[in-house]
Homo-oligomer: A and B are copies of this chain.
């Protein structure tokens, strides 16, 4: 990133985020996306050196202009601001416009959770209401935490991309083709539409659709930036993305004492439930990522697929920088 004119401070923020995604096992949102961020800098559609500014502010709220900066730069700025306000008034609600893709939503939620705060974070996505992710994190005892980080569609686009690359079908109930017909063909699904969480009407797909709109309301509608179908297409990188993001921090100490103990108790109650299959214990949101982090620790590093290593070598060659060393 520094080789394409991103100052070290901003580049580091992005690096931390991408590595955290890979560490947690979300490879679709980690180093895999580096090329996209590089291209945004090369095409000058993202301002790598930008610093966000506050447009409007109250003790508990802020509207921020990201000034087209890198997603994590805008995201960290807003999350820190929301945390600061939550510590003073119990709640901090900060929305940003003029931002870019900010990686895993859980990153920001975890930042606050580490400080003992409860957080919601969400991002609108290009092209009508697509994956519109939402994350919620809440701290338990001794570093334990609840981290829900989910697309409001049945699955994220990344899972369909992976099926495409592997030449596999996708399960029924994930997607429609371009003409609106259900499909299990991964390429047709990628060219079509993801179903909202719930799927068809019988299984309450309108709830996933409603949650996706809720995210849009928290983002583009509150900030006044593009929303819904006004948002730039994911593939058209000839102009700034102008994405919106929303960060809400809540300080549990403004409510009943003992929040962290109750969180751990609730999570352990779920984890200790008798599983349907003995080899698949009940997990709560954040546990699959915790298991992946333990695996990385045991292996002494993150294991990447050879295709990804090759892509990063190609990228290093293109940028004329030292490639990742084995």
A interface list, Cβ under 8 A from B: 56, 58-61, 63, 89-91, 93, 95, 97, 118, 129, 136, 138, 146, 148, 150, 154-155, 171, 173-174, 180, 197-199, 202-204, 206-211, 213-214, 216-217, 220-225, 227-229, 250, 252, 254-259, 262-263, 266, 269-270, 276, 283-285
Specify which chain B residues have a CB less than 8 angstroms from the CB of A155 in the assembled complex.
204
CA of A59 to CA of B148, assembled, Å: 28
CA–CA, A269 to B207, complex, Å? 18
Q: Told that A90-B93, A138-B221 touch, could you supply 17 new A-B pairs with CB distance under 8 A?
A: A60-B89, A61-B91, A61-B250, A95-B255, A129-B270, A146-B213, A148-B211, A150-B210, A171-B202, A171-B203, A197-B208, A198-B208, A213-B270, A217-B263, A220-B262, A222-B256, A227-B262
Residues of B within 8 A of A91 (CB): 60-61, 91, 93
What chain B residues lie within 8 Å of A257 (beta carbons)?
224
Q: Which residues of B contact A283 (CB under 8 A)?
A: 206
A210–B276 Cα distance when bound, in Å, is 18
CB of B154 within 8 A of CB of A256, answer no
From B197, B223, B228, B270, give the contact of A207 (CB < 8 A).
B197
Q: Is the CB of A284 within 8 A of B150?
A: no
Q: Which residue of B lies closest to A217 (CB)?
A: B138
